[in-house]
Structure formats: structure tokens, C-alpha cells
């Protein structure tokens, strides 16, 4: 099935310049604390480098542009979801710290589980040998399994 509006696997749109780029060599450019999680914005290499060299005022302008892209322009004129290079710390953790998998796969949680993990009502346990994770009620001491 042809999906011309979707970037190929491992690619997303830079929330700053809006160009398609490969996530493979990328790292998060900056984070935004939000509701107990940190939203990670990933820029293309050119914008990432520009952000690293920028002063505080320039960084604020660049991050504001990313906020507008990711929060206000979530759909294109045809109603298709725009795939920005954005994820969260929790999603990154759930994907074994693999940024491409985190952005491609998402958290794989219901909104209720996601919120309950961030609030501390639930936690995630991992069965390390199988790579299987489960959401459980209450907090778990990590590493004890």
C-alpha cells in the first residue's frame, strides 16, 4: 500500500525546519517537562547543530517553533497525522533507549496506563530475559526481577 504522506521507516519531520530526515544518527535536541514526563524533540542534524551553537534567545525561538509544530500542527490539510520527530522519556525507556523504535513504536500503552505510571500509581516490570514488560499496580523495585 502506498502511503505518500508518511515518511519512510526511521524517518520523521524535523519539528523546526519541517524537513524529512533520518533518525538513525539523531539524538534528542532538547526536552520539555510535561505532566511528569519529558517530551523529547529531535531536530535534523542541521537544526540540531544550530541549536547547540545558539544563545538562549535563539534557542527559545527554535524551541517555540518546535512546540507550535508538534502541538498545533498535528494534522495536515488532508487530516493525516503529521509525523514529527518527537517522543518522551517514558517511551524511550519502554523501547530499550532506542530512539528510532521509540518514535516509530510509541509507548504501546493505553492513555490510562501511561497516566497511572507517571503518577506513580502503577509501575512497569520487565522480565529481562524475554524483554517482556508489564504494567502493574503499585511501585516495583527495579532490578529485583
List contacts with Zn ion (CB under 5 A). 14, 16-17, 43-44, 47
Taking the complex as a whole, the smallest distance from the CB of residue 8 to Zn ion amounts, in Å, to 17
Which cell numbers hold the place of 64?
A: 517555540
Residues 43/85, Cβ–Cβ less than 8 Å: yes
Between 59 and 133, name the residue whose CB sits nearer to Zn ion.
Answer: 59
Angstrom distance (rounded) from CA 37 to CA 47: 24
Between 82 and 115, name the residue whose CB sits nearer to Zn ion.
Answer: 82
Taking the complex as a whole, the smallest distance from the CB of residue 18 to Zn ion amounts, in Å, to 7
Enumerate residues 6+ apart whose C-beta is below 8 A from 114. 90, 107
Strands 11-13 and 86-88: unpaired
Taking the complex as a whole, the smallest distance from the CB of residue 43 to Zn ion amounts, in Å, to 5
Angstrom distance (rounded) from CA 48 to CA 14: 10
Taking the complex as a whole, the smallest distance from the CB of residue 5 to Zn ion amounts, in Å, to 19
Give the chain's length.
Answer: 145
Residues 90/107, Cβ–Cβ less than 8 Å: yes
Between 22 and 116, name the residue whose CB sits nearer to Zn ion.
Answer: 22
Between 17 and 124, name the residue whose CB sits nearer to Zn ion.
Answer: 17
Taking the complex as a whole, the smallest distance from the CB of residue 102 to Zn ion amounts, in Å, to 19
Between 12 and 16, name the residue whose CB sits nearer to Zn ion.
Answer: 16
Amino acid at each position: 500500500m502506498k502511503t505518500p504522506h508518511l515518511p519512510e521507516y526511521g524517518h520523521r519531520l524535523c519539528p523546526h525546519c519541517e524537513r524529512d530526515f533520518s533518525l538513525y544518527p539523531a539524538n534528542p535536541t532538547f526536552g520539555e517537562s510535561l505532566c511528569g514526563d519529558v517530551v523529547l524533540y529531535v531536530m535534523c542534524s542541521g537544526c540540531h547543530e544550530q541549536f547547540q551553537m545558539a544563545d538562549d534567545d535563539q534557542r527559545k525561538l527554535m524551541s517555540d517553533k518546535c512546540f507550535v509544530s508538534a502541538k498545533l500542527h498535528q494534522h495536515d490539510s488532508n487530516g493525516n497525522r503529521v509525523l514529527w520527530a518527537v517522543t518522551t522519556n517514558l517511551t524511550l525507556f519502554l523501547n530499550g533507549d532506542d530512539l528510532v523504535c521509540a518514535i516509530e513504536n510509541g509507548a504501546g500503552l493505553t492513555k490510562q496506563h501511561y497516566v497511572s505510571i507517571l503518577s506513580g500509581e502503577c509501575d512497569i516490570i520487565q522480565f529481562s530475559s524475554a524483554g517482556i514488560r508489564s504494567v502493574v499496580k503499585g511501585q516495583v523495585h527495579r532490578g529485583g526481577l
